[in-house]
Structure 1
Amino acid sequence: MRLRADIYVSALVRRVFSAGDFAAVEKKGAEEAGAIFIRQRFRDGLETLYAPAPQSFFDEESSGDRLFEVRLERAEPDRVREMLERERKFDPDLWIVELEADEISELIPMAG
């Protein structure tokens, strides 16, 4: 069984803060099962956008886990904002979490 989105986001934010970095919830979505998008901001002004991985990456063993994929890597903030606006039109119940951390590979599980 998959963790509720609000619990997952809360745990992620706490883990980021405990690592000495910054996190904020930019947009709250559906508490139970909203899709979670993660904006990683870098000191040079660029951003990486992580999105939920497609269902094809899941197998029976990982069906309860959340997996992410890189949607935009080290892109201009305007490109990330535009992509998130398109996603919001498609799914208004999504979550957007903003992180200011140099390394998040240990914080979020990535799809193979």
Structure 2
Amino acid sequence: MKTTPDLNPILIIDDEPPILDLLSESLTRNGYDVDTVESGEKGIKKIESNNYSLIFTDIKMPGLSGEQVLQYLKHIQNSLTPIVGMSGTPWLLDQSDFDAVLPKPFSMKRLLKVVRQFIN
């Protein structure tokens, strides 16, 4: 699959470098442009200076959590960019404002299904 030049990149925020590498490699192999950062703070800086088609964020991270990134995106930036929470405890997110929740661990097939749900 070729990358789509008019499509904004996907941002992945996770404090675990091996997860960032795995997700980035998988999405890149499937034709998506990907940015990665290892903290909520860096994620917000990226969001302030770039446009994204989709954002994935880990929920529990040192410093700013995925929930705080979500609140910033939806309530301070008033962004319509879809944001997907990734969590080992997805049942805690039943009433959250995330556009989708990916329970960890998840397959690359499931990841791509979620991406396609928001990017067509």
Q: Please confirm whether the aligned pair reaches a TM-score higher than 0.5, indicating the same fold.
A: no
Which structure carries more helix by proportion? 2
Which structure has the higher relative contact order (CA within 8 Å, separation 6+)? Answer: 1
Which structure carries more strand by proportion? 1
- Please, what TM-score do these two structures have when normalized by structure 2? 0.29
- Please, what TM-score do these two structures have when normalized by structure 1? 0.30
